[in-house]
Amino acid sequence: MRMNWLTHAASHRTGPVRLLPLLIGPGYLLFVQPDQPTFADWAFTLAAGLAFLPGGVWPLPVLAVESLLVVLAHPWADATPVAAKVTATVALVELAARRPPKLALPGALPLVCAYVLVQAGHENHTDPVAIAYRLVVLVAAPLLLGCWLRSANQHLAQAQARAREAEERRELAALGARLAERTELARELHDLVAHHVASMALRVGVAREVLPDLRPEVRTVLDDVHASASTALADLRRLVGVLRDPASVTDPTRSLLVEPAELPAAVAGVADRCGRGGLVLRTQVDPGIAGLDALRGLAVLRVVQEGLTNVAKHAGAGTHARISVTYDAGAARVEIHDLGDGTPAADPPPLPSGYGLEGLRERVALLGGTVTAGPEGDGWLLRASLPAPAPMVGATERETC
């Protein structure tokens, strides 16, 4: 509903606080005025209050009207025009607070003339002390107060602007530091990791060509290693591109995510590659995980990858393991349980305590889930739980409005 100009003026900036001076005039007539207030007393009090309402928007015209009421109230009303004097004083304060001094000082002339005319109508109109008192207390003091308020507001605005500029400088510095870190990380990934992965893919490819009489199972292993290295190299190239130029991708994470509809096949693909590497796997993947969002889908895929990598490293070839990925009402649960019956390497690595599991916990925790890992029977159990995303309160409120 649109407000009319009078309501808008009354509520401008300071709202109901601006209505407080309007209570002074009626209060004076009801409780202080010794004689019964006349119709003219109430008329001038009401007129002063109505004229005062738009002062937050038009302080100069309001001050001129209030000054005129001060002059007219003295000969026409029996009571002292307290309402007009108070509202005129407040209007002068607002004028000095909202307008520059070059407008506020000339704007005070109507009120000066009003008090001079009022004093001229008294018997002691030649008393300079009375005139000086009115001009100092009712004109100069409000002007100084309004100028002080204006100066304080300007200093506050300048301080807020400086604070915003300082915050923007800190954000720019932090952004520059993050960009430098991203660039350094991208350089290391390209120069170190990608170089070694490319070398692995190249050497495996050469081995397949120069050794034509390989047994079929050996060639299958080499083909799988070559495919894995090529996939890793392509992922590294995309990651380096995102790190070096995030603005080139609308959503930097999108190029690293798996499409939800492809998630069951992606999990099965990870299990198939690890099965060709010597693990004996029993996989149960709920097709409903295709209903997960991209971030949760990626988390499920990373849990499966990390879990099977640890099984291959620590339990050894030939171990039996079970992969279970379930989906229920938007929540996902992943379990990877190995029986520890494989053939570990002659010099087995330590138990899982590196950055892989820690990274999984951090990734899943950001989505509100949990990751637990520890001994289970003769083997090891990795369990991850991803709850359904919380409903958007703002969207619900919009739907119910």
pLDDT, one tens digit per residue, over 292-305 is 887 788 888 888 88
Residue 5 has pLDDT above 70, yes or no: no
**Is 33 within a domain?**
yes
**Is 319 within a domain?**
yes
Compute the Cα dihedral for 277, 279, 283, 285 and give only its sign. Answer: negative
Please give the tally of structural domains in the chain: 2
**Is 186 within a domain?**
no
**Is 137 within a domain?**
no
The parent domain of residue 351 ranges over: 259-393
Domain boundary among 110, 126, 142: 126
Would you give the end-to-end CA distance of the chain in angstroms? Answer: 16
Band of pLDDT at residue 34, cut at 50, 70 and 90: low
Residue 193 has pLDDT above 70, yes or no: yes
**Is 248 within a domain?**
no
| Measured distance CA(146)–CA(101) in Å, rounded | 10
| Measured distance CA(91)–CA(15) in Å, rounded | 15
Q: Are 386 and 299 in contact (CB under 8 A)?
A: yes
Residue bearing the bigger pLDDT, 33 or 180: 180
Domain boundary among 106, 126, 146: 126
pTM for this predicted structure: 0.45
Phi, psi (degrees; rounded to nearest 5) at 261 = -65, -25
Residue 52 has pLDDT above 60, yes or no: yes
Distance of CA 51 to the CA centre of its chain: 43
Q: Which SS3 state, helix, strand or coil, does residue 320 take?
A: strand
CATH assignment of the domain containing 315:
3.30.565.10
| Measured distance CA(229)–CA(331) in Å, rounded | 33
Domain boundary among 71, 97, 126: 126
Instruction: Provide the β-strand partners of residue 385.
Output: 333, 370
**Is 269 within a domain?**
yes
**Is 132 within a domain?**
no
Percent of the chain predicted with pLDDT > 90:
3
| Mean pLDDT of all residues in 358-366 | 84
What residue type is assigned to position 128 of the chain?
P
Q: State the virtual CA torsion across 374, 377, 380, 386 in degrees, nearest 10.
A: -70
From residue 355, give the alpha-carbon distance in Å to each of 297, 314, 351. Answer: 21, 15, 12
Band of pLDDT at residue 8, cut at 50, 70 and 90: very low
Weakest mean pLDDT among 29-38, 186-195, 253-262, 277-286:
253-262
**Is 332 within a domain?**
yes
Q: State the virtual CA torsion across 212, 217, 221, 226 in degrees, nearest 10.
A: 40
Structure tokens at 317: 């070839």
| Mean pLDDT of all residues in 321-328 | 89
Would you state the pLDDT for residue 163?
92
Residue bearing the bigger pLDDT, 238 or 121: 238
| Mean pLDDT of all residues in 225-231 | 77
| Measured distance CA(387)–CA(292) in Å, rounded | 10
Band of pLDDT at residue 41, cut at 50, 70 and 90: confident
Would you state the pLDDT for residue 401?
39
| Measured distance CA(20)–CA(58) in Å, rounded | 18
| Measured distance CA(33)–CA(296) in Å, rounded | 76
